[in-house]
Amino acid sequence: MGIYANTNAFHIDEQNGDKSEPEDLKPEHWPRRTDTTRRNLSLKITFALLGICILVSILSLVLAVILVVQMGEMKRSDADLRMDLSQWKNNVTGNVEKATSSLTEVQAEIALLGELTGNLEKAIAQLSKLQTEIPRQRESVYSCPEEWTKFKLRCYNFSSSLANWGEAQRSCASADAHLVVINNAEEQGFLIKTINVRRWIGLSDSASEGDWRWVDGTDYNSSVKFWYEGEPNNSNNAEHCGEMFAEGRWNDEPCGNKQKWICEKPACSSIRSSCKMCNEPASQC
Ligand SMILES: [Ca+2]
Ligand SMILES: [Ca+2]
């Protein structure tokens, strides 16, 4: 009101032609105007501060609310994490227990397998031993009559008397044997070690020249042969019976010559009831 009053006064004075300076514009009135401005400024500052305080309070409240909400969420998250961790721990523990159990079973199976392997190796060793033992045991239960020599499962008799080839074959037959038939190199080797004079063997081509036959029917063509070099030569067209030289090789010789001979027959088994230590004919053994 003071300001407007001073303004009106100024206009009245101006209309009145009073060109003098308004009273309120005079320096003596200046402090009064400054106080008003200061009050207004102070008021504005107060309102501004008040507004700022309110704003800060609101912001603080909002922040507090957000913080509380976040803390709640963090608590829930923490609880969830703890629960997940607990479940994971339980799962891991369960899996570890299962793995431990499986490992124990596998270890037991490996131990059992090792034991079985050991037993199998022992069985194989025993079987191998039996494989070498059985032939020896088998041979041990076979025997030959007195004055007969056993080789493998056969019996051999080396005559001390002399006879032609036919007489020699009949002599062997009387002992249920035949003139020796040489089936393999082993048998040939055994005979070489045993004889020291020429002897008849069970080979002849009397029926047909050149058609050599073994007395027991063994196939001549597919059998081993140990003829002396150049034999059989059917010398003088008169050699139809086979003999073994003292050194082992074979020769064809006139069948009527008298010389020693070799008989052969199977060995007898002592475990067969039908054959009592070769007291019965060897054909029944
Ligand atoms: Ca033989
Ligand atoms: Ca000859």
Model confidence over 11-58: pLDDT tens digits? 444 444 445 555 555 555 555 567 788 788 888 888 889 989 899 889
24 falls within a domain:
yes
Least Cα distance to 169 among 205, 202, 196, 204 occurs for 202
Asked if the structure places residue 179 within a domain, the reply is: yes
Which H or E run contains 265? strand 260-266
Minimum-distance ligand to the CA of 236? Answer: 2
107 assigned to some structural domain: no
Q: Which domain holds residue 23?
A: 1-31
Q: Which structure tokens are listed for 206?
A: 């009397």
Using CA atoms, how far apart are residues 109 and 112, in angstroms rounded to an integer?
A: 5
Q: Using the mean position of ligand 1's atoms as its centre, give its distance from the Cα of residue 202 in Å.
A: 9
Indicate whether 193 belongs to any domain: yes
Over residues 10-23, the pLDDT tens digits come to: 444 444 444 555 55
The mean pLDDT value for 107-130 works out to 92
CA–centroid distance, 270 to ligand 2, in Å, is 42
Average predicted confidence (pLDDT) for the chain: 86
Which among 165, 170, 166, 143 has a CA at the least distance from the CA of 155?
143
- Cα(176) to centroid(ligand 2), Å: 29
- Ligand 1 centre from 234 Cα, in Å? 24
Burial 248-280 (b: 16+ CB within 10 A, else e): eebbbbebeeebbbbbbbbbbbeeeeebeebee
Cα 244 to ligand 2 centroid, rounded to whole Å: 11
Q: Are residues 21 and 153 in the same domain?
A: no
First to last CA, the chain: 163
**CA distances from residue 119 to 131, 167, 258 in whole angstroms, order as listed:** 18, 60, 63
| pTM reported for the whole predicted model | 0.55
Q: Has residue 83 been placed in a domain?
A: no
Say how far apart CA 193 and CA 187 lie, in whole Å. 10
Q: Which long-range contacts (CB under 8 A, 24 or more apart) does 26-32 make?
A: 32/2
Q: How far is the CA of 157 from the centre of ligand 1 (A)?
A: 12
Instruction: Return the structure tokens found at 32.
Output: 């009064």
Strands 199-204 and 260-266: parallel
Residue 155 contacts residue 172 (beta carbons within 8 Å): no
Q: Of the ligands numbered here, which is closest to the C-alpha atom of 230?
A: 2
| Residue 109 resides in a domain | no
Rounded to an integer, the average pLDDT of 257-278 is 78
Are 224 and 188 spatial neighbours (Cβ–Cβ below 8 Å)? yes
- Number of domains, the chain: 2
In tens, the pLDDT along 137-189 reads 777 788 999 999 999 999 999 999 999 999 999 999 999 999 999 999 999 99
